[in-house]
Structure 1
């Protein structure tokens, strides 16, 4: 009312307050509400439990010892727009940090990763790279235009048939690796999956270094017309990488030489000491 009188009749606020019988101090009074703690708590609950609603949030708040009444929680809940339908993405479970250590024997740990590139016609293709962390041996490089989880498991079946089965596979959190198809396949083959933490590619450092060598030697060095050309060159490069390319981390030996030396040591070591 005071605001209306001031604007309509162009008089001062003091005179307008006297006209409507409103104390001037009440006109300037502003109620102060500090909802920052409530806002923080509701935002925290919304991030942790995106599929729940106001009633469950209120129940959790009371369980945690906060004494806010339902009206306050409701008011802040609406203020944050949490009553509106929210699209939620599938979240990656919490991953455990695992140190990058060299296995003590072949087929104890394989690292698997994807790479992407394009042909001359700009069509994209992907490569599935698999190495043995023990001697950095390139187990396989498979090339295809697309690699959904079903194709990945089929390729892994073929690779295992040719090279034997690993005890554990180290992968990132790509959709193919966190899929139900891939997890079911690993469980059925008694293969443990070791996921790296999101945003921590150094936890899969062996294959990251391998990918760099493959990109510099093949993907960035040639122009390809089709995936068959990529596959042929990749297989030729893998043969050279395993049998003729010395590795500083392996004492200047090739992956195959390093594995052969390990086999001789194991054959000459008494079985009681190995056990």
Structure 2
């Protein structure tokens, strides 16, 4: 019988041949793969992943970079430049921009922890009358006229040393008010101010130098470096909300009331619950019982507290 008369037989033979060919091809490939040595995946010493952090920097470097980020809020480029300017000449350690960016991405939770630590950290207690903070603020009365208020605070006890209304603010009025406060509370070792032209005046520098008082200025655009005075004015402005100052005469009457309330009746958190006056006089309210006490109220009951007489 002719094979062409049975096409299904031809198809069956063709399928068997193809299956045999595929079987031998797979067997050959498996034998060749088993004889080939596996490729080494060891990374070269100079190579590095584009996203992985290599533990080549010391712990203090990472900690300091994160601290600079939280203090100044810089980008990773400026952060690397600032770190290198601060520490490269001294320690020989530098950081790159890519490394700084990867550090901020990888340790974002640590940066958040660091931010909370800096926010809630308690500053170290300073001796009384070592450094004063001085600054000015403005108060707007009912007629829309702005009045200049000069304030000073002791960094150690947080005592509000002066809170005065000035008709004119210049070097002479600053020195006059300052020496009145020095005559009442004693001479400080250092005075810290911002970069107002009056505070940086030549007359102020010379007179304070002759008097044996140092003068220190905060860096430009960094008001938090004079934070004790800024906190004093923040409390003052918050208490002033809703209390209308009609004119300069009422302002001059209102300032001593606030100063008394701030120094005598208001406990301070970072003083361990002491008032600034207690910290200034060295009175421990937990071991010394008050001889008398009475209530205090001013500014339409916006300033309230208890006066303790020791």
Give the structure-2-normalised TM-score: 0.50
Equivalent residue number for residue 203 of structure 2? 181
Equivalent residue number for residue 254 of structure 2? 233
C-alpha spacing 1:242/1:150, structure 2 compared with 1 (3 Å):
same
Equivalent residue number for residue 125 of structure 1? 147
In 1, Cα distance between the equivalents of 2:142 and 2:167? 14
1:167 equivalent in alignment to 2:189: yes
Q: Deviations over 1:8-66 (max 9, x none)?
A: xxxxxxxxxxxxxxxxxxxxxxxxxxxxxxxxxxxxxxxxxxxxxxxxxxxxxxxxxxx
Gaps of 5+ in 2: 1-121, 286-310
Aligned to 1:178, the other structure's residue is in SS state: coil
1:210 equivalent in alignment to 2:256: no
Coordinate RMSD, CA, aligned: 2.0
In 2, Cα distance between the equivalents of 1:176 and 1:221? 31
In 1, Cα distance between the equivalents of 2:125 and 2:184? 21
In 1, Cα distance between the equivalents of 2:249 and 2:125? 33
C-alpha spacing 1:162/1:260, structure 2 compared with 1 (3 Å):
closer
In 1, Cα distance between the equivalents of 2:264 and 2:140? 28
The alpha carbon displacement at 1:101 in A equals 5.5
Aligned to 2:169, the other structure's residue is in SS state: coil
Aligned to 1:221, the other structure's residue is in SS state: coil
In 2, Cα distance between the equivalents of 1:221 and 1:189? 42
The alpha carbon displacement at 1:260 in A equals 3.2
Report the count of equivalent residues: 164
In 1, Cα distance between the equivalents of 2:189 and 2:284? 18
Aligned to 1:112, the other structure's residue is in SS state: strand
Equivalent residue number for residue 193 of structure 1? 215
Equivalent residue number for residue 221 of structure 1? 242
Gaps of 5+ in 1: 1-99, 265-275
Counterpart pick for 1:158 among 175, 180, 197: 180
In 2, Cα distance between the equivalents of 1:179 and 1:102? 31
In 1, Cα distance between the equivalents of 2:204 and 2:189? 15
Contact 1:247/1:253 (CA < 8 Å) preserved in 2?
yes
Higher relative contact order (CA 8 A, sep 6+): 1
The alpha carbon displacement at 1:157 in A equals 1.3
Equivalent residue number for residue 261 of structure 1? 282
The alpha carbon displacement at 1:102 in A equals 4.6
C-alpha spacing 1:191/1:224, structure 2 compared with 1 (3 Å):
same
C-alpha spacing 1:178/1:103, structure 2 compared with 1 (3 Å):
farther
Counterpart pick for 1:107 among 122, 129, 154: 129
In 1, Cα distance between the equivalents of 2:129 and 2:146? 31
The alpha carbon displacement at 1:228 in A equals 2.4
In 2, Cα distance between the equivalents of 1:171 and 1:103? 20
The structure with the largest alpha-carbon Rg is: 2
C-alpha spacing 1:263/1:110, structure 2 compared with 1 (3 Å):
farther
C-alpha spacing 1:188/1:221, structure 2 compared with 1 (3 Å):
farther
